[in-house]
Chain A
Amino acid sequence: MFRCTIFYASKSASPNAHILRRGLQTRANGWNAIIGLEIHAQIDTRTKLFSDTLTSFNSPVNTNISVVDAAFPGVQPTLNEKCVELAVKTAIALGSTINKRSTFDRKHYFYPDLPQGYQITQHFKPIANGGVLPLLEKDGISKPMQVRIEQVQLEQDTGKSMHDMRPNMTLLDLNRAGSGLMEIVTKPDMRSALEAGQFVKKLQALLRSVGSSNANMEEGSFRCDVNVSVHKHGEEWGTRCELKNLNSVRFISAAIDAEIERQIEVLQSGGRIDQETRGYDVENGKTFRLRGKETAHDYRYMPEPDLPTLILTEEYIETLRNNMPELPDAKWSRMVKQYSLSDHDATVLLSEAGAAEYFETVCKGRPPKLVVNWMTHELFGQIASKGVSFSANPVSADQLGSIVDLVQSGAITGMTAKNVLKIMVDETQPRLALDIVEEKGWKKVGDESKLREMCLALMNQNPDKVASIRSGNTKLATWLIGQIMRDTRGLADPVALNKVLEEALGVKLDVPSNNMSQGKSKKSKKSQLSK
């Protein structure tokens, strides 16, 4: 999860740089690539698409199955309205045309993890057609572009086959069988692995913000098949190959590049591209043939006779349209404007599901810049180092707010605040910052008379250093500050201390403050604190 943040934060380290280079390279050779995507996103509902069985991820195998999911004789599918709602919302978010009448169809093939012997899908009349997802500069694209959507359809997921757990046996887990999927098909509008990769990320964020899918590739709730073809600039489009079983954005991009390279090589050496389905070998960085056109299925599509036409009224669609959550692009623009955030900060906040809402909650009555720093630098960093995703973030908005408040009021130092946050991340019990600070006795020493006392005592013990400072070596004052910080276990208020020390020494010091609200660079802060 957090990798994403790092990724945005440090673009130069991104694998995309490498992809970008390759993409440019191919274009330079006069070759163009055409890329279209077919995405299967698991709909985030409590129950499955056509049964009231719970959906599951990581449940014990074969525990969430009903007679409907296992296709027992005599059962019928009953449509889960929540799935329809989320698909319609997704389609609205993509700007698609919602079909007021859509139908369900059966797609036939035999496979042990497909209990019915067919998948219920929407082949003839999907729930939505058309739509577009724009890719902007902030999404990491050099030139803004639009990826058009062909259609959005509802369909059933299959179970899982495990071929490698027992020799000569295939094990079946039907927990997933019958879960709702949205199939989102794009037009062949992408021209590089970078564009495809950024589209996938943007779509994931969109689905999460709509709440229609967790869109997690590692967990399999977001799967992507890629169609790739190449052609010489100015010539007709080439034959496409389909890449399947790609389970991360990185592999999608890498597989596309490998496939583009392969196709160009084949064509340049006088060969021909056959329409086929290919997989990606991560080890070798090469695609390989899964099956050809001759073994392609005849799916024998047929209307699903058990499910009547799905009729959506204008009223229903409008109600959903009027209750849409704010979508990422709109939110991004608003946040940049409303909170005066940098483009980068806004992007980081929007890259994690729920982070923007969290930010806005904490922001109420607090300075946005301070909050965004505490969130993106400290909170994200601490939970990431513990391997916790933001969705499982143990620190409530109230808790983080209480830290910011103490920092802002000068009651604690930035160093203390980090320690308080660490305790919050580690603790199961949600305590506010003040509680923790009081228990630990971490309240900042801001009492000037006490600090003056300490300063004078220290100066008396080190007359030579005092003399040196007074003679212009003001840098040595940091030593004194360090001593007092040590004696107060870092709890001395740096601003007050600075002031007291200046008064006691009668010298104007140029020591940076430790308060983050002053917006100084992290590096300098660190170096100061570490002394």
Chain B
Amino acid sequence: MGNQPSAIQFQPAIDARNDKLEDATHLRYLATEESKFIRESDQEAETARLQGHISAAEEIEKQADIHRLRMHEHNQAAAKAIFLANNPSRDSHVLLTHGLSSNEAIPLVRDHLARLYNIDSIKHIVILTGLDVIPQDVIETFWPAAERAMRDFDVDIQCNKPSDGVIYIRFGDSNGGDSSDNLLSQDFLQSDLPSGRHDDDSPWSGMFTASKSTEDMMNKWSGVAVGAAALFGSAAVAAMLNKLRNTHQVDANDIIKECLGNIKERGKAVNAYISVEDRDYLQQQASEAQTRWLKGQSKSVLDGVPIAIKDNICTERMKTTCGSKMLQDFQSPYDATVIKLLRKAGALIIAKANMDQFGMGSANVYSHFGHVNNPQNTDGHFHLSMESLPSHKRSAGGSSGGSAAAVASDLCFAALGSDTGGSVRLPASYCGVVGFKPSYGRISRRGLVAYANSLDTIGILTKDVADVELLYGILSKYDNQDPTSMLPDLRERIEQEFAQHYDDLDQDSLKGIRIGIPQEYRVQELNESIVNIWEAGIRQLKELGAEIVPISLPHTQYALPAYYILALAEASSNLARFDGMRYGYSDDNQESDLLYADTRTEGFGSEVKRRIMMGTFVLSSGLYEEHFLPAQKLRRLVQQDFNDVFSLPNPLLENAVADLNNMKKVHAILTPSAISTAPSINSSIPEADNPKHHSKIKAVDAFVNDVMTVPASLAGIPAITVPGGVSRVDGWPVGLQLLSQYGDERTLLHIANQFQKSSS
């Protein structure tokens, strides 16, 4: 990336260009008209529904869908016209992807093309924003053309300068929905016109102007453009960032600008954030960070790096809502320990991320601030789908859905989430990013609003395992304000006891590593396409030199019920403090004796109330012995399962000894992170919460989504999900999960890193 890009200039014939632009303007007008019609139709349909005229409503909706398709056609044509206007000789080179946010697509396109054409040095990608939804027939006819286009493109590249490819890609906007207004953004139109001005606030302006002249391109690309493309698009973000910074090729001011631009552009559509930090404050912080960088006095590798925080981690600045009405205006008087550590490292706390209320949910449909939409709108192979029609919106996963979506759509560089039973790993898997849950007690929970204290951990979401390592290094500190924080001498002891094993790790391969495949994770609910990805992952690890060992974790089937009994019992207790007395929502218009009941009835969402009731039930006198105690016993059995298969001893157990040479014991375990790709949002909302849709979906149906992730939570062991590939069936990403012994984050991150490097 350090190389300067080559210059490629296009000089379309002016007349033809103007014609095309006129066409585009007209087409865009038509699309806008359609959009108005659709909006009206939707309203009519809604009214009809409310009045009980279901069939009429359906008819209107059907009509609206036709117009929706037409709108997309117009948009499609307009986009094409624009492109043709600018690149008359390259119309066949337009590469359409849909739904993927631009930043996510960069590495995918690059890698895809690199593999396809065996070019290992496609260095720059120019992105044009705008298109929304592409109808199925367009996909079908267009995809072969696009493939051809790429081939042609390749030839062109080779003709121009084989080693420095520039690919023009037309990206879809991930908004979904009725967003014709931004289909062809002003930015796009104007930035590519020779006389056009460009909006400096537009995140992509640098990109567009880059095509205007060599000089512009050189200037811009050495700054924001390279920064953005390199940072967001590349895998090892922080490592890259440091490299760029040390050569002064990227500027903290530009990075924050970039993020804020992305938030402005697609923040609403993804709905990943509940609060965003004050712009001036962020810019000032960034500028201070940049000054430190220039002086060579940066606080850490994260100095000036924007990081999003799940909204159940307390911050003095910005509200801490936990995604709930109960705390919708809650301002924490203190910073969580992780926030203190991040601030000390110079990181910029850019925003508070959306989440399922109080961490309760696996699809992020239980937020008081609206659903999080999965920004990952394609499988990375650039075929287009109907998926982003409103009714087909996919879930970002939960409960750290906002954190995962923010990382996936480049609204930040990394995010913190919380993982109680998979709340970091599941959304990371659905959104195609890396999600890491450390051993219980590694990272301080002080300031994390408790869901189930004995299971809660703060987790890290990034695009790359190497970045997880950087953040983990900063956050993994003993905290005397967290009574469950791993004690300094245990941390020390782990390092010493595992030292020999760590010395044996091979930096560039997985030689000597044994990885277990637990048969019990092949549950009935596990999607076949996921099994395929799992198998591919196993092959990949083998290629890296790891030895694959079939293992058995016999109590896995009890993990899920045990988890839900323990977690909900603790949750019902933890949430007792939200009574509206000292802070938070309070129902003021009440007869005094019902103050608590009314406050809690109104302040908590449906799922929270269901879980409180279930938790209260299992703690009731008599049932405690029947449910809670057996669940605790099962939890110990699940822990025992893991201790039985790991070759490193559990440092929490006295008398445990290393069994490094036992070939049946393993260093890590590989499983899928989820039983499916991201489910649609509609299918994640239980009938109880949306009685109009007779979906027959029960609230507890969603519990099964956690089946892959809860055993590690019960055992307190570290776990990480790394993008494993995309489903053959629907093209959506899914993650593979690696697990290791308690305290053995190092082996885990080493394997994950090797795995991810070899995937790209």
Q: Which residues on A are within 8 Å of B, measured CB to CB?
A: 67, 70-79, 106, 108, 110, 112, 115-118, 168, 172, 298-302, 305-308
CB of B259 within 8 A of chain A? no
Which residues of A lie under 8 Å from residue B480 when comparing CB positions? 78
**B450 at interface (Cβ–Cβ under 8 A)?**
yes
* Interface hit among B613-621, B658-666, B744-752: B613-621
- With A67-B334, A74-B336 known as contacts, the answer to whether A307 contacts B483 (CB < 8 A) is yes
Contact residues in A for B336 (Cβ distance below 8 Å):
74
Partner of A115, one of B314, B570, B575, B581: B581
* Cβ of B471 to closest chain A Cβ, rounded Å: 20
CB–CB B573/A106 < 8 A: yes
Asked if B579 and A73 make an inter-chain contact with CB atoms under 8 angstroms apart, the answer reads no
**A72 close to B333 (CB less than 8 A):** yes
B582 touches A73 (CB 8 A): no
Q: Is the CB of B573 within 8 A of A115?
A: no
Contact of A116 among B322, B572, B577 (CB under 8 A): B577
Q: A67-B334, A79-B483 are in contact. Are A300 and B320 (CB under 8 A)?
A: no
Q: Mark B593-620, 1 if CB is under 8 A from A, else 0.
A: 0001000000000000000000010011
* Residues of A close to B453: CB separation below 8 A: 76, 305-306
Asked if B37 is at the interface of the complex by the 8 Å CB criterion, the answer is: no
The docked-state distance in angstroms from the alpha carbon of A172 to that of B621 is: 30
- The reply to whether A74 and B483 contact each other, CB–CB distance below 8 Å, is no
Which residues of chain B from 556 to 601 have a CB within 8 Å of any chain A CB?
569-570, 572-573, 575-579, 581-583, 592, 596
In the complex, which of the residues B322, B452, B579, B583 contacts A110, with contact meaning CB atoms closer than 8 Å?
B579
A-B contact pairs, 17 of them (CB 8 A): A70-B582, A71-B577, A72-B583, A73-B320, A74-B313, A74-B448, A76-B445, A76-B446, A78-B483, A112-B579, A112-B581, A117-B573, A118-B576, A300-B620, A302-B569, A305-B453, A308-B484
Q: Inside 8 A of A72's CB, which chain B residues have their CB?
A: 332-334, 582-583
The distance in angstroms between the C-alpha atoms of A305 and B628, with both chains bound, is 13
Alpha-carbon distance between A67 and B483 when the two chains are bound, in angstroms: 16
Contact of B582 among A71, A74, A301 (CB under 8 A): A71
Which B residues lie within 8 Å of A110 (CB)?
Answer: 576, 579, 596
Q: Is the CB of B484 within 8 A of A76?
A: yes
Does chain A have a CB within 8 A of B447? yes
B484: A residues at CB distance < 8 A: 76, 306, 308
Contact between B450 and A74 (Cβ–Cβ < 8 Å)? yes
B residues less than 8 Å from A67 (CB atoms)? 333-334
The residues of A that contact B569 with a CB separation of less than 8 Å are: 302
| CB pair B619 A74 closer than 8 Å | no
Query: Is B327 at the interface (CB under 8 A from chain A)?
Result: yes
User: A300 contacts B483, CB within 8 Å?
Assistant: no
* A residues less than 8 Å from B330 (CB atoms): 73
Instruction: Please determine whether B452 and A302 come into contact, CB atoms closer than 8 angstroms.
Output: no
Asked whether B140 is an interface residue with its Cβ less than 8 Å from the other chain, the reply is no
User: What is the CA–CA distance of A118 and B576 in the complex, to the nearest angstrom?
Assistant: 7
Contact flag A73-B481 (CB < 8 Å), given A67-B334, A305-B454: no
Q: Which B residues lie within 8 Å of A168 (CB)?
A: 592
* Residue B152 CB within 8 A of the other chain: no
CB distance from B603 to the nearest CB of A (A): 13
* Chain B hits for A308, CB < 8 A: 483-484
- Sort chain B's interface into a size bin: 35 or more
Contact between B481 and A78, CB atoms less than 8 A apart: yes
Which residues of the other chain, A, contact B578 by a CB distance below 8 angstroms?
73
Q: How far is the CB of B659 from chain A (nearest CB, A)?
A: 27
The one of A73, A76, A302, A306 in contact with B619, judged by C-beta atoms closer than 8 angstroms, is A302
Residue of A nearest to B480 (CB): A78
Kindly report which residue of chain A lies nearest to residue B334, judged by CB atoms. A67
Q: Which residues of chain B come closer than 8 Å to A71, judged between CB atoms?
A: 577, 582
| Shortest beta-carbon distance from A118 to chain B in Å | 6
> A67-B334, A71-B582, A300-B621 in contact; A108/B449 too (CB < 8 A)?
no
Residues of chain A within 8 A of B452, CB atoms compared: 305
Least CB distance from A107 to B in Å reads: 10
Whether B483 and A73, one on each chain, are in contact in the complex, defined by CB atoms closer than 8 angstroms, is no
**Contacts of B508 on A, CB cut-off 8 Å?**
none
Given contacts A73-B577, A112-B579, 18 further A-B contacts (CB under 8 A): A72-B582, A72-B583, A73-B332, A73-B578, A74-B314, A74-B332, A74-B450, A76-B445, A76-B453, A76-B481, A77-B483, A106-B573, A108-B573, A108-B619, A116-B576, A300-B616, A300-B624, A306-B483
Shortest beta-carbon distance from B42 to chain A in Å: 39
A73 B576 Cβ-Cβ under 8 A: no
- Residues of B624-674 at the interface with A, using a CB-CB cut-off of 8 Å, are 624, 628
> A172–B581 Cα gap in the complex (Å)?
10
Cβ contacts under 8 Å, A106 to chain B: 573
Tell me, in angstroms, the Cα distance from A299 to B616 when the chains sit together. 10
**B621 cross-chain contacts in A, Cβ below 8 A:** 298-300
CA distance A106 to B570 in the complex (A): 10
Measured CB to CB, the closest approach of chain A to B71, in angstroms, equals 45
Q: Which residues of A contact B482 (CB under 8 A)?
A: 76
The smallest C-beta distance from A333 to any residue of chain B, in angstroms, reads 43
A76 B582 Cβ-Cβ under 8 A: no
* Residues in B neighbouring A116, C-beta threshold 8 A: 576-577
Give the residues in chain A near B628, CB-CB below 8 Å.
302
Q: Which of B570, B572, B573, B578 has the most CB of A within 10 A?
A: B573
How far, in Å, is B304 (CB) from chain A's closest CB? 26
Residues of chain B with a CB closer than 8 A to A75's CB: 446-447
Contacts of A112 in B (CB 8 A): 579, 581
- What's the Cα separation between A191 and B93 when bound, in Å? 99
Select from chain B the residue with minimum beta-carbon distance to A299.
B621
Q: How far does the alpha carbon of A118 sit from the alpha carbon of B573 in the complex, in Å? A: 7
> Considering the complex of A and B, which 9 residue pairs feature the smallest CB-CB distances, nearest first?
A117-B576, A305-B454, A300-B619, A305-B453, A73-B449, A71-B577, A74-B447, A74-B314, A74-B449
Tell me the complex Cα distance, A306–B480, Å. 13
User: What is the chain A residue whose CB lies nearest that of B575?
Assistant: A117
| Complexed CA–CA distance, A375 and B683 (Å) | 84
Which chain B residue lies CB-closest to A65?
Answer: B582
Which residues does chain B contribute within 8 Å of A108, judged by CB atoms?
573, 576, 619
Distance of A410 from chain B, by nearest CB (Å)? 63
**Which of A70, A73, A76, A172 sits near B322, CB closer than 8 Å?**
A73
Minimal beta-carbon separation of B622 from chain A (angstroms): 9
What's the least CB distance linking A166 to chain B, in Å?
A: 13
* Chain A contacts for B312, CB-based, 8 A: 73-74
Residue of A nearest to B358 (CB): A73
Q: How far is the CA of A307 from the CA of B484 in the complex (A)?
A: 7
**What residues of A have a CB within 8 angstroms of the CB of B573 in the complex?**
106, 108, 117-118, 300, 302
Once the chains bind, are B570 and A302 in contact (CB under 8 Å)? yes
**Which of the listed residues A110, A116, A305, A308 has the most CB atoms from chain B within 10 Å of its own CB?**
A305
A78 and B583 CA atoms in complex are apart in Å by 22
Q: In the complex, what residue of chain B is closest to A297 when comparing beta carbons?
A: B621
B456 shortest CB reach to chain A, Å = 9
Output the nearest chain A residue to B595 by Cβ-Cβ distance. A112
Closest residue of chain A to B445, judged by CB? A76
Contact partner, A117, options B327, B332, B579, Cβ 8 Å: B579
B316 to chain A, nearest CB (A): 12
CB distance from A274 to the nearest CB of B (A): 20
In the bound assembly, the distance between CA atoms of A419 and B657 in angstroms comes to 78
A100: shortest Cβ distance to chain B, in Å?
15
Q: Which residues from B are CB-within-8-Å of A78?
A: 480-481, 483
Quick one: given A305-B453, A306-B484, are A73 and B327 in contact (CB under 8 Å)? Answer: yes
Nearest Cβ on chain B to A78's Cβ, whole angstroms: 5
Q: How far is the CA of A76 from the CA of B479 in the complex (A)?
A: 11
Provide the bound-state CA to CA distance between A126 and B483, in Å.
Answer: 19
Establish whether residues B620 and A298, one from each chain, have CB atoms under 8 Å apart when the complex forms. Answer: yes
Pair B582/A115 contact, Cβ less than 8 Å: yes
The distance in angstroms between the C-alpha atoms of A298 and B312, with both chains bound, is 30
CB distance from B442 to the nearest CB of A (A): 16
Q: Which residues of B contact A73 (CB under 8 A)?
A: 312, 314, 320, 322, 327, 330, 332, 449-450, 577-578
